[in-house]
A and B are shown apart, each in its own frame.
Chain A
Amino acid sequence: DAKTTQPPSMDCAEGRAANLPCNHSTISGNEYVYWYRQIHSQGPQYIIHGLKNNETNEMASLIITEDRKSSTLILPHATLRDTAVYYCIVRYSGGGADGLTFGKGTHLIIQP
């Protein structure tokens, strides 16, 4: 799996959009970008994934640059419950049962 680089921590005001960057400059053409988050003392939670097009679901939006070397996870209206460690993971898109390789992630703190 390709490696990812994320800032170790970020702050965001409650109600504002939280934009979490991820660099994955060595990503290959058949690898997806996944985002998971882990709220303190809970298991990780899947957020969203994408290959090359921007994606949106009820939790977040994922913006992937045209060259696919970086991406941004957007939480449109952050709440205090969004305080968590956010992991950006690049993974082969061909299916299979392999596990996830977590990096250090970004600790997002939502400020009241």
Chain B
Amino acid sequence: DAMVIQNPRYQVTQFGKPVTLSCSQTLNHNVMYWYQQKSSQAPKLLFHYYDKDFNNEADTPDNFQSRRPNTSFCFLDIRSPGLGDAAMYLCATSRRTESSYEQYFGPGTRLTVT
């Protein structure tokens, strides 16, 4: 089945130690998104790629970066994780069309910072 895959599902990192989360998709969608969801809160968009074009949300901290080497893969890099970055990180994809569209979400990676 076509899907959005996130690895690992659970990630533990130390305070200040860089960490990378990965997302892959078999849907061949041209847009990929990263959301952050803290405990008991709604998901919050960090940034997205439309093909190779990177679009950062205005309030996304510089500590968060992203790479998209090809259509299928997208990475979230946290350069120096703080305790406040502990959250669920959700990857999503969509196919940009002229009309409405839906987003397909992966299961998320839960990040713990110790």
Contacts and interface: CB of A to CB of B under 8 A. Distances in A.
B80 interface: no
Interface residues of A, number: 27
A112 interface: no
Contacts of B113: none
Contacts of A38: 43
Interface string B47-69: 01010000101000000000000
Interface string B15-46: 00000000000000011010100000011110
Given A32-B100, A49-B100, A93-B99, A99 B108 contact: no
Q: How big is chain B's contact interface, by range? A: 20 to 34
A92 B98 CA distance: 11
Contact of B44 (A34, A49, A97, A102): A102
Contacts of B44: 102
B104 interface: yes
Given A43-B106, A95-B99, A105 B35 contact: no
A54 interface: no
Contact of B101 (A51, A95, A101): A95
Given A97-B48, A97-B50, A99-B33, A44 B43 contact: yes
Given A45-B105, A99-B103, 6 more contacts: A38-B43, A42-B107, A43-B4, A46-B102, A95-B97, A95-B101
